[in-house]
């Protein structure tokens, strides 16, 4: 006889350190599940069969992730109010609506109760907490200013969100303009041009070459609408997938910085992120070389090679400013400011000022670029639509002139 497949049970138990834990145990019966939990050192409070899933589709739903910036700000506020670290994390876990977020904070709390420092507890949940936060907390544990470090990190993420919002906001209108223009062109090619082709089929006249090509396209689309619709849907799906992949990779696309107009903006945005993040890490007491290495992923692949060479020069004893300037990361203004920081020792403040300067430059560049791109797109779309309309009416103009 074949044994029955093990069932899943949700066991609520008290661990040896006093914390309440919920564990998923697979066993043949509830009694065996409770016994397994007891063998793991847990005192079982309840053991119930796990709720069966009715559908497989909920797997596609992404679990809500923690808002790390809000978590850092609220944790700093609770610690500043006098709460202990464990109580503060348990309070934050109770207010979370997402079960996955509560489980993450509970896991961090359990690690703290086991005796691990906060940085090590956060590092265990590497999929939820960025390496920058872990490094900032680890540095603050040595200096004792955890509250200030958490607030600096929250302010850092907020500044990056504002900067990213400016870039996204500037790109929304050109994207809408391009999308609506593309729909109008598709409508003309798929609906209007085929009807004109039917009207002109009986005309015994030679059509202009460009008009003939356009009408041939219209007839082909009218004859095979499903094929062209599938091709258009595949093109849209490919574009969406490419966009999603670029977003997941942080727009780390080789050659993107060489694109006209967009490339310089992307490069300046990455440099502003680089200096802003380094300023936050330097204020937390992290050495410059280690901070540069941690922020390396913020740069484009073309700039990473330059940063690696600059880090080797800095490790050999050369000043930071000239090394970053040769790598193409620091402009002349940043170079002079870094030379001042080399003399005064206020590297964190200087890096923050460089970031502010570059963010201001980026805002002005985005404004200028939007004023250039939007009219250029309107002219391009107008020329395409106008060209289609003119090519459609040229045969009619020829017929009218022949009748006269």
Quick one: which H or E segment has residue 24?
strand 20-27
Q: What sign for the dihedral angle of Cα 246, 249, 255, 261?
A: positive
Report the alpha-carbon distance of residue 156 to residue 231 in Å, rounded.
44
Q: pLDDT class for 60, splitting at 50, 70, 90?
A: very low
pLDDT confidence of residue 361: 83
Please, which pLDDT band fits residue 74 given cuts at 50, 70 and 90? Answer: confident
Per-residue pLDDT tens over the stretch 333-367: 888 888 888 888 888 888 888 888 888 888 888 77
CATH architecture of the domain 166-404 equals Up-down Bundle (1.20)
- Mean pLDDT check: name the lowest of 84-93, 149-158, 244-253, 273-282: 244-253
pLDDT tens digit string along 88-128?
888 888 877 778 888 888 888 888 888 888 888 888 776 67
Task: Tell me the backbone φ, ψ of residue 13, rounded to 5 degrees.
Answer: -145, 165
Residue 269: the pLDDT is 81
CA atoms of 217 and 222, how far apart (whole Å)? 9
Distance separating alpha carbons of residues 342 and 101, to the nearest angstrom? 43
Looking at every residue in the chain, the average pLDDT score rounds to 76
Domain segments of the chain: what residues?
Answer: 7-60, 68-157, 166-404
C-beta separation of 267 from 306 below 8 A: no
Whether residue 279 contacts residue 348, with contact meaning beta carbons closer than 8 Å, is answered with yes
pLDDT at 256 over 70: no
Residue 164 has pLDDT above 80, yes or no: no
pLDDT in tens, 280-336: 888 777 888 888 888 887 787 778 888 888 888 888 888 888 888 888 888 888 888
Instruction: Report the first-to-last Cα separation within the chain, whole angstroms.
Output: 97
With cut-offs at 50, 70 and 90, classify the pLDDT of residue 201. low
| Contact indicator for 79, 114 with CB cutoff of 8 Å | no
Q: What is the pLDDT of residue 352?
A: 85
pTM of the predicted protein model:
0.59
Res. 59 pLDDT band, cuts 50 70 90: very low
User: What's residue 1's pLDDT?
Assistant: 42
Q: State the pLDDT at residue 267.
A: 81
The CATH classification of domain 7-60, taken from the options 3.30.1050, 3.40.50, 3.10.20, 3.30.70: 3.10.20
Q: List the structure tokens of 340.
A: 């001042």
Alpha-carbon gap, residue 27 to 50, rounded angstroms = 11
Spatial separation of the C-alpha atoms in residues 233 and 251, rounded to whole Å: 24
What are the DSSP calls for 264-311, one per residue? HHHHHHHHHHHHHHHHHHHHTT--HHHHHHHTGGGS-HHHHHHHHHHH
The values of phi and psi at residue 45, to 5°, are -100, -40
Among 58-62, 192-196, 319-323, 342-346, where is mean pLDDT lowest?
58-62
List the CATH code of the domain at 68-157: 1.20.81.30
């Amino acid at each position: 006889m074949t044994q029955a497949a093990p069932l899943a049970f949700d066991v609520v138990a008290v661990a040896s350190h006093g914390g309440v834990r919920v564990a998923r145990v697979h066993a043949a019966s509830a009694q065996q599940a409770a016994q397994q939990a007891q063998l793991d050192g847990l005192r079982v409070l309840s053991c119930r069969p796990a709720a069966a899933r009715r559908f497989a589709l909920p797997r596609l739903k992404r679990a809500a992730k923690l808002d790390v910036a809000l978590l850092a700000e609220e944790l700093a506020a609770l610690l500043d109010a006098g709460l202990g670290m464990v109580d503060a994390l348990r309070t934050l876990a109770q207010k979370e609506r997402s079960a996955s977020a509560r489980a993450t904070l509970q896991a961090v709390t359990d690690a703290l109760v086991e005796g691990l420092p906060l940085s090590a507890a956060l590092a265990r949940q590497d999929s939820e907490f960025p390496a920058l936060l872990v490094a900032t907390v680890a540095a603050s544990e040595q200096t004792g200013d955890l509250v200030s470090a958490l607030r600096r990190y929250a302010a850092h993420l907020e500044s990056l969100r504002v900067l990213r919002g400016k870039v996204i906001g500037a790109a929304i209108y050109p994207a809408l303009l391009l999308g609506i223009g593309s729909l109008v062109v598709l409508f003309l090619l798929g609906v209007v041009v085929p009807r004109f082709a039917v009207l002109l089929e009986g005309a015994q006249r030679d059509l202009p070459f460009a008009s003939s090509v356009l009408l041939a396209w219209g007839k082909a689309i009218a004859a095979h609408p499903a094929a062209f619709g599938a091709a258009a849907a595949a093109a849209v799906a490919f574009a969406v997938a490419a966009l999603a992949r670029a977003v997941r990779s942080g727009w780390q696309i080789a050659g993107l910085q060489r694109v006209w107009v967009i490339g310089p903006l992307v490069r300046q945005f990455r440099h502003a992120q680089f200096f802003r993040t380094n300023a936050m890490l330097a204020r937390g007491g992290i050495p410059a070389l280690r901070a540069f290495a941690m922020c390396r992923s913020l740069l484009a692949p073309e700039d990473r090679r330059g940063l690696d060479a600059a880090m080797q020069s800095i490790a050999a004893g050369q000043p930071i400013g000239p090394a970053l300037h040769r790598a193409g990361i620091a402009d002349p203004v940043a170079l002079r400011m870094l030379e001042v920081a080399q003399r005064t020792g206020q590297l964190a403040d200087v890096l923050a000022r460089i970031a502010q300067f570059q963010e201001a430059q980026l805002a002005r560049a985005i404004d200028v670029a939007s004023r250039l791109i939007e009219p250029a797109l309107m002219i391009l779309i107008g020329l395409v639509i106008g060209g289609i309309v003119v090519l459609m009416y040229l045969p009619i103009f020829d017929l009218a002139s022949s009748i006269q």
